[in-house]
Amino acid sequence: MDNNHNKNQNDNKNRKNMNGLLILVAWAVALTVLFNYLSAYNRQTSSSASTHEILYTELLDMVEADQVEKVLLVDGKLEITPVEGYVYTDGEGNTYNRDYTLFTMPISASIGDLIDLIHAHGGEFSYPYVPEMSPILEFMIAYILPMVLLIGVFMLFMNVMARKGGGIGSVGKSNAKVYMEKSTGVTFNDVAGQDEAKESLVEIIDFLHNPGKYTSIGAKLPKGALLVGSPGTGKTLLAKAVAGEAGVPFFSISGSGFVEMFVGVGASRVRDLFQEAAKVAPCIIFIDEIDAIGKTRDSRFGGGNDEREQTLNQLLAEMDGFDPSKGIIVLAATNRPEVLDKALLRPGRFDRRITVDRPNLAGRLATLQVHTRKIRMAEDVDLNKIAQATAGCVGADLANTVNEAALRAVRHGRHAVNQEDLLASFEVVIAGAEKKGTVITEQEKKIIAYHEVGHALAAAKQKNAQPVTKITIVPHTEGALGYTLHLPEEEKFLMSRDDILTEIRTLLAGRCAEELVFNTQTSGAANDIERATELARNLVARFGMNEKFGMMALGTVQSQYLDGGYSMNCAQETFALADKEVVALLQKCHDEARAILEENREMLDKIAGYLFEKETITGAQMMAILDGRDPDKEDYYGVPARSDAAIEPPARHINIVSEPIPMPAASGVLPDESGTAEESPADGGEQQVQQ
């Protein structure tokens, strides 16, 4: 039965090839006839534009009047070349000079007399010899040869376009990249920090290796698995690792690769993709960013006949139609599962939903170990401390951090990456590179220093705050004139009400320091205010931690794995009341943060003076000042402290445009500027970095 099926498929394929060849020949014949007709018509038109026919008797009169220089017999016509200066005038008054060829039809009975007459009057007569061509050869040159050339050029064009994935014959063809066998080059050894996701996919790999073990008891392989997670968590890498572990062909295509401007092309590409996959089953089909074609269908904008919905309908039909026993598995990845059509997510299509989340501490350590396999590392590198410092980072961030560290080591002329390279590169990833040519005034520099120390000191004096890791007043390319880096000591997955209020106080403490020391407000607190407002609104509208609204949810999350934004879905009156609660909460936290700084004003001045001098300090150095110890002896996540002579502050080259003032001592107090500052920080503001 299989042999008959294969024979029928071959017959159908041969029949399609023959039909295509006949169509190609028909087009070539039609084009050849058309070209010959146009060529003949063009010759006739051009000839009529440059020639004029006269009577035979007029030729005789011209010869007798010695007005003919030469007569040529060509193709049964007498072509006449008059003497220089002769102008022929016809019966209608039109004139023709030597630029026109005069001709007439010969009279065979008197051709000999005509020749004698021409010679007698000093003219010339000739007829060139033209060998006769075989009619068969003439037909082949005029018709067969152009047809062969047209067919050859057309077939060459189609082959080139087919190899490029385009052209007339491949509009409906799938342009999926195919990795045969283990050519993906990726296995589970190359994927770290996603142990739960890998465990969910191990069963699929085992089925592809040993399908009989499952089919013997009647079990069916899940047709599809949907990988969901934030950008950079490794969804595409995980899909390639599944194909590499299973050792089967791997079809990879993006969701946007199905959608074209022509209606029906996407559906045709879906059909072709599943047909090609069926030929090499068992195999894996991976559709990246499936939300491009899998969005929920609706009729709000003119019905469901557009290209995207037809493509989605065809995908649903194909996933229902193929036999799971053949071992065709569909993997898909998306950052927006909430917009996918319900029919796509029902059992029988994408049976499994696998969350690829941000890695925890152990996952980050394993990911760093994977990405540093081929990197030459110095002996002082401690990946455990780097994993602690990179809380909240995804796999792509860690890979970028390692690569930036290697580039930094090369720039500094080293042959191995050390601990300082890794930490500096991590800060480049989250905050950008240092802005070398920033012009900043002395007054602005003091305001920024107090602003950042306000964040750090408020965090240090609160019980539930995340510890400060680094404070800098060096401008960075991400728009921050300085930042305070907070990194947690341990993994936390929940935030209590006290944690949120502590975080809001810490964010608002920068503005409080400006008001307390300089009696002013600057634009540097813009990012702090945005984040504090977002936290306060979440506390009121989403987390049910407000006494007025209780456990009533006023907002709905729109994109959990992207920006995490949400929209309010309540009455306008309730929305207004919620805003009042947010304002009251922010004001209360602002007052509490200012009270903390007022109680610790002496330490605020000491730490700000040290930061003003060093421009970048660590959290350990700040705590040393609070405890009365020497801050220059503290290390930073494995980077040992160095003497002042070995440290070049990163922003020493920043231009100072105001009058210089005496540099405050490291342990002293900055000069008190109680008046209103004349200049405010540059646009872009200050950014507090927190993981």
**What does the alpha-carbon distance between residue 274 and residue 253 come to, in Å, rounded to a whole number?**
12
Place of tokens 């003003």: 612
Please report which helix (H) or strand (E) contains residue 471, including its range: strand 468-472
- Residue 124 contacts residue 99 (beta carbons within 8 Å): no
Residue 65 DSSP SS3: coil
Catalytic residue annotation = 452
Kindly indicate the confidence band of residue 590, based on its pLDDT and cuts at 50, 70 and 90. very high
Name the nearest CA neighbour of 504 among 470, 471, 473, 539. 539
Residue 691 has pLDDT above 70, yes or no: no
**What does the alpha-carbon distance between residue 372 and residue 508 come to, in Å, rounded to a whole number?**
39
Is-cis flag, bond preceding 282, omega within 30?
yes
Residue 613 has pLDDT above 80, yes or no: yes
> At what angle are helices 395-411 and 361-371 packed, to 10 degrees?
50
The predicted pLDDT at position 507 comes to: 93
pTM of the model: 0.62
**What does the alpha-carbon distance between residue 89 and residue 581 come to, in Å, rounded to a whole number?**
105
**What does the alpha-carbon distance between residue 441 and residue 658 come to, in Å, rounded to a whole number?**
5
Among the residue ranges 130-139, 345-354, 372-381, the one predicted with the least confidence is: 130-139
**What does the alpha-carbon distance between residue 199 and residue 195 come to, in Å, rounded to a whole number?**
6
The pairing of strands 655-656 and 616-618 is: unpaired
239-248, 376-385, 478-487 — which one is most confidently predicted on average?
Answer: 376-385
Please report which helix (H) or strand (E) contains residue 458, including its range: helix 442-460
Number of helices and strands (H, E) in the chain? 21, 21
> At what angle are helices 195-209 and 235-246 packed, to 10 degrees?
30
Largest CA distance in the chain: 135
Helices of type H across 56-165: 56-64, 111-120, 135-139, 145-164
**What does the alpha-carbon distance between residue 685 and residue 482 come to, in Å, rounded to a whole number?**
8
Instruction: Name which residue leads in pLDDT, 567 or 466.
Output: 466
Instruction: Name which residue leads in pLDDT, 570 or 646.
Output: 570
- Residue 52 contacts residue 99 (beta carbons within 8 Å): no
Proportion of the chain above pLDDT 90, given as a percent? 10
88 strand-pairing partners: 96
Among the residue ranges 256-265, 289-298, 350-359, the one predicted with the least confidence is: 256-265
The pairing of strands 177-179 and 250-254 is: antiparallel
For residue range 188-223, what is the model confidence (pLDDT) as tens digits? Answer: 777 877 777 877 788 778 877 777 787 788 777 777
Proportion of the chain above pLDDT 70, given as a percent? 70
- Residue 400 contacts residue 615 (beta carbons within 8 Å): no
Strands laid side by side in the 177-179 sheet? 177-179, 250-254, 283-288, 328-334, 224-229, 352-356
**Which amino acid, 46?**
S
Residues 37-45, mean pLDDT to the nearest whole number: 64
The predicted pLDDT at position 126 comes to: 76
The predicted pLDDT at position 505 comes to: 94
